[in-house]
Structure 1
Amino acid sequence: MKPVIFDVDTGIDDAMAMAYALNSPELEVLGFTTCFGNVPVVDSTRNTLAVLEKLNRRIPVYEGADQTLVRGRKKRYPKHVHGEDGLGNTLRFEPTIKASQGNAADFIIDQVQSRPHEITIIAVGPLTNIALAINKAPMIMSLVKEVVIMGGAVNVPGNVTPYAEANIISDPEAAHLVLTSGLPITLVGLDVTLQTYLLKPKLDDWRATGKESAEFLAEMTDYYMKAYENSHPGLGGCALHDPLAVGVAIDSSFVRTEWMSVKVVTEGEEAGRTIGQKDGEPRIRVCTNVESERFLKHFLERVI
């Protein structure tokens, strides 16, 4: 089993990714670390605990960054995509399980130091927690086995601005720090996630299982698909952004990658843009193609 720290800003696709990861025997999820992003961090933590409760799993959850590295608190959250609560307005209960004592950056540092060259970090929100860990303990960079990041748009347009993907623009300075840090990174961006679509009829299959957790995921994903329909009329589904990062952590052969150095624009109209170059250092793996049907089959076999 691959020991994993899973860094989330739990909205709807995070919840699907959590279920996928926790139902995959290849991964040993050591803990979840939460960040602002789709929702404020207190809501991200609550949502993470709520999803774990619905999945009947008890995994440590450590609350992390409530604001960006240098810009202060995020001012707007994508409620039109993830709902008022971040989970498609499905949260009709307060989770009974509680977050662990301590903070996300310290948990990352402690785990990496205690298990050198073993830990994979899957990051599907803004990269603030990882940036804070690097700033506090730069020696951990040589001890991390791999970081799989859902973020960026290297060869395609962004989804928040024409240039920027949501996770990167939420904290461009943190993203630039992490992507140029020398960590062993695989970047799973819109270049590949927008080739992975879950279509609406699959939600009926989830509901047909009769599982409470399946109904919970189906209801929130239905909300997410309606948001997609507003921006992509006729699509009839949604992209699997965060789940694909989990898929790549499980089986890297789902994607093809190219080695690039990737820098993040932090100022002006193009803030949040991820610029990939074939030369330059340090280089990371940038996903450029995905076997979408094989990945989707794998995801559907695991998520419910």
Structure 2
Amino acid sequence: MAKKKMILDLDTGIDDALAIAYALTVPEADLIGVIGSYGNVLTPQAVQNCLDLLDMLGHPEVPVFAGPTHSSTTTTFSVMPISQRIHGMNGVGDVSLPHSSRTAEQMSGRDFIIEAAHQYGDDLIVVPTDPLTTLAAAIKKDPAITHLIGNVTLMGGALTIPGNVTPATEANINQDPVAANEVFQSPLPLTMVGLDVTTRTLLTKKKTAQWRALGTTAGKKYAAIVDYYIDIYADVHPHLNGCALHDPLAVAVAVDPSLVTTLPLNMKVEVDGPCAGRTIGDEELLDQPVHSQAAVNVDKDRFEQLLMTHLTTLFQNN
């Protein structure tokens, strides 16, 4: 069976760093490129984090592209204070990474998605774990890609539980509700991996200690990065007893949908009013063919075991 081709679209904070590591290890897909965009950090920092992490993990062949620097409805962007607190000022828990000498590709992240869609078609998986600005821009430039891309599995939204920015909104969707709505309302085959399931998957310091014990650069750096995340979670979300594995879960579901139970539902994103950014079923499309689904339950134990197996193997060698 031919491998799928995967693009990660990240605002490279800590869980995005875990998503990169997971994507490099899954046997079902080849990571053909990574896009660094605004969100947890500014775009240049996201790009540098992607380059540094990929090189540290032994994969300097994976190209990195720059995404947008702000939302589709603004002209500037400032990182939210809560994002700086959760991910650190540099996005990776203020841990210093070995510096990559590479730079971003000249092609934009938007155009890379378009090119890959035409090249790989149904074999292409796009995994955005950031605001959906890049993907919306690609759709706007070339609407044909909505009928070419095999699947979009995004980390974002909240359907059955409250958001983490406001009671109605999750952070990635909150950054650009208009772009998110354009993606949700497009014909793309879409799976939403939102807070409904990601906050059920956790990592603890008992697990990161296993990575540190490997004695490798990657093992020690990732342990330090995730320990920072766990400490912040203990303060901000003490009821979870660990840090949530938001972005790596989206990568896992992209290649193994059986990890989650989904609700088939045509969705929309509220773009204005007090509930701007809310992801919810579209009442105008209830009787239309369904092209999207929202994850509402997860095989927590199996995913957490997969993550530890994949990442420990990767860190052993780097």
If the TM-score is normalised by the length of the shorter chain, which range does it land in? Answer: over 0.9
Alpha carbons 2:188, 2:291 under 8 Å: kept = no
Q: Which residue of 1 aligns with 2:174?
A: 169
- 2:291 & 2:66 partners in 1: Cα distance? 30
Q: Which residue of 2 aligns with 1:148?
A: 153
Q: Which residue of 1 aligns with 2:293?
A: 285
CA apart distance, 1:283: 3.9
Q: Which amino acid is the alignment partner of residue 136 of structure 1?
A: K
CA apart distance, 1:268: 2.6
Please give the TM-score of this superposition, normalised by the length of structure 2. Answer: 0.92
Q: Which residue of 1 aligns with 2:310?
A: 302
Give 3-state SS (helix, strand or coil) of 1:152's partner: coil
Q: Higher mean Cα deviation, 230-239 or 134-143?
A: 230-239
- 1:303 & 1:30 partners in 2: Cα distance? 19
Give 3-state SS (helix, strand or coil) of 1:38's partner: coil
CA apart distance, 1:72: 2.6
Please give the TM-score of this superposition, normalised by the length of structure 1. Answer: 0.96
- 1:128 & 1:206 partners in 2: Cα distance? 34
Structure 2's unaligned 5+ residue stretches are 313-318
Match among 56, 67, 70 for residue 67 of structure 1? 70
- 2:20 & 2:198 partners in 1: Cα distance? 16
Structure 1 segments, 4+ long, off by >6 Å, are: none
Q: Are positions 1:237 and 2:239 aligned together?
A: no
CA apart distance, 1:70: 1.2
- Within 5 Å, give how 1:220-299 maps onto structure 2: 220-233=225-238, 235-276=240-281, 279=286, 281=288, 283-299=291-307
Q: Which residue of 1 aligns with 2:99?
A: 94
Q: Are positions 1:43 and 2:45 aligned together?
A: yes
Sequence identity percentage: 40
CA apart distance, 1:93: 4.5
Alpha carbons 2:124, 2:149 under 8 Å: kept = yes
Alpha carbons 1:260, 1:280 under 8 Å: kept = no
- 1:235 & 1:114 partners in 2: Cα distance? 42
Alpha carbons 2:5, 2:120 under 8 Å: kept = no
Q: Which residue of 1 aligns with 2:56?
A: 54
CA apart distance, 1:258: 1.0
Q: Which amino acid is the alignment partner of residue 96 of structure 1?
A: S
CA apart distance, 1:62: 0.6
Q: Which residue of 1 aligns with 2:6?
A: 4
- 1:219 & 1:89 partners in 2: Cα distance? 9
Count of residue correspondences: 304
CA apart distance, 1:280: 5.0
Give 3-state SS (helix, strand or coil) of 1:70's partner: coil
Q: Higher mean Cα deviation, 198-207 or 280-289?
A: 280-289
Q: Which amino acid is the alignment partner of residue 75 of structure 1?
A: S
CA apart distance, 1:56: 1.5
- 2:110 & 2:239 partners in 1: Cα distance? 41
Q: Which residue of 2 aligns with 1:180?
A: 185
Q: Which residue of 2 aligns with 1:117?
A: 122
- 1:150 & 1:290 partners in 2: Cα distance? 14
- 1:111 & 1:229 partners in 2: Cα distance? 40
Q: Greater share of helix residues, 1 or 2?
A: 2
Alpha carbons 2:52, 2:97 under 8 Å: kept = no
Alpha carbons 1:200, 1:236 under 8 Å: kept = no
**What does the per-residue CA deviation read over 1:54-104, in whole Å, with 9 as the maximum and x for residues that have no partner?**
101120001011111112323333100000100000125432122111100
